[in-house]
Amino acid sequence: MQIDALASNVLAAPLHTSADQAALVRELNVRLEGAAPLKILEAAIHEIFPNKIALVSSFGAESALLLHFLAEIDRATPVLFLDTGKHFDETLMYRDILAGRFDFKDLRSIEPDTALLARHDPDGTLWQTNPDLCCQLRKVDPLQKALEPFDAWITGRKRYQNRTRAGLPTFESLDGRIKVNPLARLSAADIEAAFKQFKLPQHPLYYDGFKSIGCKPCTLRVADGADARSGRWAGTDKSECGIHR
């Protein structure tokens, strides 16, 4: 797949300014509109951001599909997992299962700064009193540091997951980097069908009612017919950890 001339010109120099990034994002969203996830990933990894892109995975519900696509394209692409210290044991087990299945060559476990945790969350209960700061310490700050070598990163977000993601584009710019959302257009039915087609193992908690799985203290089962992410920070007005905004 060849990208258009405008994108080629933008990519000829580093993406130093927000205007550079905005131009590239506009071009890529036009050029790859309607493209299949594999084609989007292949273009992003091999053509647009070679050696400058990573995939960030929660190893939660539905994560196996994006990881399957990545393994089809390039198992050496870095995969970043935020080990917050608050995950379900089942999530860590699922991570190990998928890592063994796909044999990624560069799977990185990203952990929070222990000194900051000792200062701000010594007893591990910050999630109860200040969930935004808890996410900042355990997710946002560690990921920003881990992403420093990269110009872009890949997410598994989909438009159907909740109302705040309904207009999710395939490419977007945030905090000096470009985010690639190759699964944005897929429906819940598409995801289910792909899991069956590729015989992918599901997260152990998925069939117990957990449709979106984050840290254990802040994740509940999802009621029938509710948004997939309604079990995250239930009972509060919080809907994102801060990584996506």
Relative orientation angle of helices 63-73 and 89-102, to the nearest 10 degrees: 20
CB 146 within 8 A of CB 110: yes
Q: Please state, in angstroms and rounded to a whole number, the distance separating the CA atoms of residues 22 and 132.
A: 28
In the set 134, 215, 218, 241, the catalytic residue is 241
**CA distances from residue 240 to 16, 117, 223 in whole angstroms, order as listed:** 27, 20, 19
CA–centroid distance for 44 within its chain = 15
241 is catalytic: yes
CA torsion through residues 184, 190, 191, 194, sign: negative
Active centre residues (catalytic) = 241
